[in-house]
Amino acid sequence: MLLAIDVGNTYTSIGVYRDDVLEGNWRISTTGERTSDEIGMFLLSVLRHAGIGPGEIKAVIMCSVVPPATHPIINAVKKYFELDPILVGPGIKTGINIKYENPREVGADKIVNAVGALRLYGGPVIIVDFGTATTFCAVSRKGDYLGGIICPGIRISAEALFEKASMLPRIEIAKPKHIIGRTTVSSMQSGIFYGFVGQVDYIVRLMKSEMAMEGIKVIATGGMAGLIASESREIDEVNAFLTLEGLKAIYEMNSNT
């Protein structure tokens, strides 16, 4: 079985694959404060709850955009599973040709998403990831990572309204019944929800125009993907496990080398 770990800025996603089947998945908050023992015991606990013994894990692959949280996880895997995890980064085969001026600036999660999208949907593809930031990535049919866009995420935008405007409350992010709000809360919900729907659709249309390619698919992932996709005219499909699927694909590319 393969253990896949995606360390994001806000949450860490964990998945276990038996061949091509995702048998279990979990999500915890990302922090650099946990010790390797705390992480190891957590992993053993959730695997045990799923009926999976530590000896069944034969390989571990991970990507991370949070360096302080990376090494405790690596040490936990070494101590509790007696395995050396594959960390996605320079020297790892991905099949992606990065066209950034400085390829090292591209987050590992973006490359992993690109691999997963190409494996599952083919190219050309635009990936919209609703995480701490909302990111857009353009990938050609041949696997060229053409570049992307980084915007403030939905949750941090809503939090900024609450923190910087003394009269505005903290709100639940949801689709309001009407575009024109009749309360402060519904007005804020309308602004956040429809504002991001409009942002996504407009940016995607501009990306498609600049890419000038036929048959571009738009795949959304991340915590708010389903909510925004419910109103978006440009998002073709939502895949909550795109990053985990990408990690599995990269493991398969590198396990035979």
Catalytic residues, by residue number, are 109
243, 214, 5: which is closest to 129 by C-alpha? 243
| C-alpha–C-alpha distance, residues 243 and 129, integer Å | 10
Residue 241 CB partners (closer than 8 Å, separation 6+): 15, 22, 25, 221
| C-alpha–C-alpha distance, residues 257 and 73, integer Å | 24
Handedness of CA 20, 26, 31, 35 (dihedral sign): negative
DSSP-derived 3-state class of residue 139: strand
User: From the centroid of its chain, how far is CA 78?
Assistant: 25
The DSSP output letter for 142 is T
Q: Looking up tokens 């995606």, which residue turns up?
A: 6
